[in-house]
Chains A and B, each alone.
Chain A
Amino acid sequence: GENVEQHPSTLSVQEGDSAVIKCTYSDSASNYFPWYKQELGKRPQLIIDIRSNVGEKKDQRIAVTLNKTAKHFSLHITETQPEDSAVYFCAASRGGSYIPTFGRGTSLIVHP
């Protein structure tokens, strides 16, 4: 089955800095890669996703890049703000499968 590794487990940055979270996956057939943000005490919510036919996707301060050859994808957050502090989960799934495999999560702390 699919295996998703996520690094780092904790990331501490100063407000205004950039943050990068990386995930690797094992199943070359995986073709959908969502990222979820979970603020303290709240439910996970999708912030951005990418399909395997695209190498990069951007939405304001967040972007996701995908390298299918190396089987890794990354979340980039620029100009971080304290409200970006949360746990971020990456996931991977293949078309036709409705069971995503999640990474273990990254706790991002943005210091004012």
Chain B
Amino acid sequence: EADIYQTPRYLVIGTGKKITLECSQTMGHDKMYWYQQDPGMELHLIHYSYGVNSTEKGDLSSESTVSRIRTEHFPLTLESARPSHTSQYLCASRGQNSYNEQFFGPGTRLTVL
């Protein structure tokens, strides 16, 4: 079934650890996004990609990095996690037409102790 997947769904780690949040989509979309969202709150765009080898930073300053080596895969990496990174991270994708809706993944709930 075409969908967008995120792993892990929940992650609790200690300060200073390096982590990678995985996002994959089987929808054939070229546009992909990462948002940071505290539960039920505003969506903050932190990274986006228009296609393979294309990555851009969003509006929210973030200490994370992303890569886009394959169309379907858009991982987000935190080199050194801090308690301020505790939040929910939502991955999204969108099709070719600029009027297309964004499809969101189920999210990763990150807690940094």
Query: Which residue numbers of A lie inside 8 Å of B, CB to CB?
Result: 32, 34, 36, 38, 40-46, 49, 51, 87, 89, 93-100, 102, 104-105, 107
- Inter-subunit contact A102/B42 (CB<8 Å): yes
Can you list the 3 inter-chain pairs with the closest CB atoms, starting with the nearest? Answer: A46-B101, A43-B104, A104-B42
Once the chains bind, are A43 and B106 in contact (CB under 8 Å)? yes
- Could you give, for residues 70-113 of chain B, a 1 whenever the CB lies within 8 Å of some chain A CB and a 0 otherwise? 00000000000000000000100010001101101111000000
* CB–CB B42/A98 < 8 A: no
Query: Would B101 and A98 count as touching, CB distance under 8 A?
Result: no
Q: Give A62 to B48 CA distance when docked, in angstroms.
A: 30
Q: Jot down 29 A-B pairs with beta carbons below 8 A, ordered by A.
A: A32-B98, A34-B102, A36-B102, A40-B40, A41-B39, A42-B106, A43-B104, A43-B106, A44-B43, A44-B90, A44-B104, A46-B101, A49-B99, A49-B101, A94-B98, A95-B99, A96-B98, A98-B31, A98-B94, A98-B98, A99-B45, A99-B48, A99-B58, A102-B43, A104-B41, A104-B42, A105-B41, A105-B42, A107-B40
A40 to B109, CA, bound (A): 13
The residue from B40, B48, B102 contacting A38, defined by CB atoms under 8 A apart: B40
Query: Which B residues are closer than 8 A to A by beta carbons?
Result: 31, 39-43, 45, 48, 50, 58, 90, 94, 98-99, 101-102, 104-107
CA distance A32 to B94 in the complex (A): 14
* Whole-angstrom CA separation of A107 from B38 in the bound complex: 14
Which secondary structure dominates chain B's binding surface? loop
